[in-house]
Amino acid sequence: MTYGYCSSIISSTIGQPGWYAYFGLPAEGEPGYAAITTPAISTANGVFSAGGAVGTLFIMWSCDFFGRKANIQFGAFFSLLGGALQAGSKSLAMFQAGRFLCGLGIGILVTVCPMYLSEMSSALRRGWLVGHHAIFLVFGYMLSGWVGYACYYATGPLSGFGWRFPLALQCLPALALLLGSPWLPRSPRWLISKDDPNNLAAKEDVWKAVFTRKTYRKRMAIGFLTQWGAEFGGPLIINNYAVILYTNLGMEDGMPLLLSAIWLTTAGLIYNPLGAWLHDKVNSRRGMYMIGFVGIIFSTSCLAAMTAQYAGTTNKVGNGFGIFFMYLYLAFQGTLCDTTMYLYVSEIFPTEIRSIDMGFSLFGQFASTLILLQTAPMGFGNVGWKYYLVIICWSAFFIPVIYFFFPETAGLTLEEIAQNFGEEVAVNLTGATDAEKARLDHQLVTGENVQLSVSSELEKETKPPSTNEAK
């Protein structure tokens, strides 16, 4: 919820008249809006994404060194500090500094939380449990939308409250997480990796392995593309600039904020919970991801057509259909893509490189949002509906990439997923027969052959890659 609220609150902030007035920014339609206000809005989104990118790079080292639990605490602290700076801003520079610190905390949290949840869950319930990350993320979006809409009507002497209170509320979920974190159990997989002297991470050659082992390089590329690709599908473009987009479709006064709040509520109450539930029923991460992008292409194409034809006109039917396609977009993106992007990258990496590659993957998310959110206001201002072609063309390109290069992970334990990347696994419980499971249970009870098998596997994992594997 901390991530969802902190990243989305800028959408309602740029809809608050008091924010423009306090910082001396021309409102939309006033002289100087394009030259002064548009760069300020772009910077607010850009520095948040830049902070997030720094956070994901930091966690590549810190998550294994300090552990998952400690990094959750780091992320909550920086989010709390950034929210406080924004709410108490005396200048635009102070506001942007708060956005950066908040982004730093979010970059840490959005990386470590899915990782932590995946390591704490079973193979059969992992989709539902890790899917809760996306569910509560959207709850944060939803809360920011309704708070922003309610505070729109704080005018006159309360105009400062109208934009400061929603920003101050960023501190609440971060504070709750920080105060509750001492009771979180540590990740058992991380504890095992730290206690095992033969583990690859303990031998300090894990960074070398990330770049020299072919299967690790493949995982890294797929993880990066998963997050980069999901963001180029446009969710934050439409969410963070929803007020501007609804205004272009003829909505006035508080109506853009209301429509944005309802839009996010449908995701929080319907689409993301449905997606999390479907993952353990459909058992195909790839299939859900590809269908989601097909829906994104269709809905965004229709939205672009409605915007091209009716934006700036008084045609209520045409503008209404434009709003409808924004909602249809969310049905596909929220149900099929939003839950998948975090679940998939939390599954595909073995324990010894999970924090490094999760950090690199989420760096792809913030790098893409930095590009998109920095350029979107200028893009919509200069080329209008044609900016949607970025989303459409990327999605059309990304679908075959998923089909040909992304292995399936559903229904397997985190350790068994390695077999879909061409590696051997020590024990395959998911595909084992009842007789094989009974034999393994007997070996675990008696200790027969178990130590030999584990030692062989550890030797195989820590052995330097062969010439063919490194290619």
With beta carbons less than 8 A apart as the criterion, state whether 288 and 336 touch: yes
CATH number of 2-421: 1.20.1250.20
Say whether pLDDT at 275 is over 60: yes
CA distances in angstroms from 166 to 37, 258, 264, 272, 365, listed in the order given: 20, 15, 16, 24, 25
The 10s digit of each residue's pLDDT in 240-273 is 788 888 888 888 888 888 898 899 899 889 998 9
Q: How many CB atoms lie within 10 A of CB 142?
A: 24
CB 3 within 8 A of CB 107: no
Q: Residues 274-302: what's their mean pLDDT? A: 93
Per-residue b or e along 444-470, where b marks 16 or more CB atoms closer than 10 Å to that residue's CB: eeeeeeeeeeeeeebeebeeeeeeeee
pLDDT of residue 97: 96
CB 271 within 8 A of CB 148: no
Report the sign of the C-alpha dihedral through residues 131, 133, 134, 135, in that order.
positive
Cα 247 off chain centre by: 27
User: Given pLDDT bands bounded at 50, 70 and 90, which one contains residue 458?
Assistant: very low
Q: What is the pLDDT of residue 471?
A: 47
pLDDT > 90? residue 392: yes
Confidence label for 424 from pLDDT (cuts 50, 70 and 90): confident
Which amino acid appears at position 282 of this protein? V
| 110-166 pLDDT tens trace | 999 988 888 887 777 777 777 777 788 888 888 988 998 888 887 777 678 889 999
More confident residue, 157 or 280: 280
- SS3 labels along 349-406: CCHHHHHHHHHHHHHHHHHHHHHHHHHHHHHHHHCHHHHHHHHHHHHHHHHHHHHHHC
Domain definitions of the chain by residue range: 2-421, 434-470
- Segment 323-344 mean pLDDT: 93
Q: What mean pLDDT do residues 166-194 have?
A: 89
Query: Pick from 103, 68, 117: which is nearest to 355 by CA?
Result: 68
* 355 — pLDDT class (breaks 50, 70, 90): confident
